[in-house]
């Protein structure tokens, strides 16, 4: 039987992470041949994941430039993807999530009439500017895809409400849980030079991450105020703030936070280091979608620095809570978790609503059965 040729297109760390278990499984599966196109949208951060899972791209588009606009990024992606598709002629192009790489990858494949499989389809915040531009990126890919692999029943229902063909919708779980489970036994705090100073005091540790474009500017300033007040009012905690590489994030946070007692500004961590931080932290404050999906596996509450989320399952199940960027609400909900044991217990004992670690196998079986 002829092998089905899969071309994986991705460019950011979250995409690399969520594609990795599917790629690893597909390479071991005699039903498929695998080709990998890395766009380079997040080069340094994605490379850590590629190295960890021993994934070597067949194509590296190297699209990023300093201070590149979304329009220019989109143009460069399309121009560089076109010859790859012409050369490879895959049977299926797989994209993941909601990045510009995912959107343009799907669009370029559509122009070549190559079927598209969308991993992590159907997530919606129903606000086209939150997250921006990810909300519409994901919706556009859903319209193009022949296979929409929805991680949850709610995501599948979103697709049905948009009149997406029911034949294209499959509820598979989220591959992020596959990735986490595959490396969970390797987590060791003792091996992390970045994390040792954070945990050596024995105090409770709160992890903070921010990177969303809609939180740039005043929202990020307000977040900083909330974290500063939290540190001042809680002398028994340490705060580990992972600084995203974007200069708009770095400049604001460093200006307001650098040198403050018990707040550690850390560089972006490798995947294993980050999971170790998550596992060892008391709770997390983040605007990351991935954190919302991963933290429940460690039974860690998440305060979500967003007004809306395309991952409402965590909110509904009680393992996450929306706090937006209002400094007072960030402070109030953080103190509640620190000082009210029943509130912490309620958020920390829920089941992960996003997956069971078998998503990659389901995706590949569906693709293998499809003509």
Residue 293: closest CA among 124, 120, 91: 120
Q: Please report, for residues 50, 101, 230, the alpha-carbon distance to residue 47 in angstroms, rounded to integers and kept in the order given.
A: 5, 16, 34
Rounded to 5 degrees, what angle do the CA atoms 283, 284, 288 make? 155
Known catalytic residues are 98, 120, 134, 211, 213, 244
List own/partner pairs for 178-181 with CB under 8 A and 24 or more apart. Answer: 178/21, 178/22, 178/355, 178/357, 178/358, 178/359, 178/360, 179/17, 179/18, 179/20, 179/21, 179/271, 180/275, 180/294, 180/297, 180/357, 181/297, 181/357
How many helices (H) and strands (E) in the chain? 16, 13
Beta carbons within 10 angstroms of residue 121's beta carbon: 29
Least Cα distance to 121 among 359, 370, 292 occurs for: 359
**Tally of residues, the chain:** 371
Count of Cβ atoms closer than 10 Å to residue 66 Cβ: 5
Enter the DSSP assignment of 330: H
Strand-by-strand arrangement of the 302-304 sheet: 263-266, 237-243, 204-210, 283-286, 302-304, 320-322
What does the block give as tokens for 265? 């500004």
Exposure string (b/e) for 249-280, b if CB count within 10 Å is 16 or more?
Answer: beebbeebbeebebbbbbebbbbbbbbbbbbb
Angstrom distance (rounded) from CA 340 to CA 226? 19
């Amino acid at each position: 039987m002829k092998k089905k040729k899969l071309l994986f297109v991705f460019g950011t760390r979250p995409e690399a992470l969520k594609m990795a278990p599917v790629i690893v499984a597909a390479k071991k599966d005699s039903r498929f041949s695998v080709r990998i196109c890395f766009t380079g949208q997040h080069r340094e951060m994605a490379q850590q994941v590629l190295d960890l899972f021993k994934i070597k791209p067949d194509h590296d588009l190297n699209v990023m430039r300093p201070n590149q606009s979304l329009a220019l990024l989109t143009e460069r992606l399309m121009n560089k993807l076109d010859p790859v598709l012409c050369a490879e002629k895959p049977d299926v192009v797989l994209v993941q999530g909601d990045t510009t790489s995912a959107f343009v990858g799907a669009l370029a494949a559509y122009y070549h009439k190559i079927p598209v499989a969308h991993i992590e389809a159907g997530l919606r915040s129903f606000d086209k500017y939150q997250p921006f531009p990810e909300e519409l990126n994901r919706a556009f890919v859903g319209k193009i895809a022949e296979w929409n692999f929805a991680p949850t029943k709610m995501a599948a229902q979103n697709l049905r409400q948009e009149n997406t063909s029911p034949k294209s919708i499959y509820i598979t779980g989220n591959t992020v849980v596959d990735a986490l489970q595959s490396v969970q036994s390797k987590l060791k705090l003792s091996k992390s030079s970045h994390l040792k100073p954070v945990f050596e005091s024995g105090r409770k540790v709160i992890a903070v991450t921010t990177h969303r474009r809609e939180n740039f500017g005043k929202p990020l300033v307000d977040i900083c105020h909330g974290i500063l007040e939290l540190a001042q009012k809680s002398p028994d905690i340490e705060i580990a703030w992972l600084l995203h590489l974007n200069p708009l994030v770095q400049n604001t946070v460093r200006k307001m936070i650098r040198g403050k007692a018990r707040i550690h500004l850390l560089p972006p961590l490798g995947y294993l280091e980050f999971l170790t931080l998550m596992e060892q932290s008391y709770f997390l404050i983040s605007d990351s979608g991935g954190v919302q999906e991963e933290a429940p596996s460690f039974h860690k509450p998440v305060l979500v620095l967003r007004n809306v989320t395309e991952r409402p399952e965590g909110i509904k199940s009680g393992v996450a809570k929306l706090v937006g960027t209002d400094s007072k609400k960030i402070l109030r909900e953080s103190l509640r978790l620190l000082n009210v044991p029943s509130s912490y217990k309620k958020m920390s004992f829920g089941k992960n609503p996003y997956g069971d670690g078998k998503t990659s196998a389901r995706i590949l079986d569906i693709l293998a059965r499809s003509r």
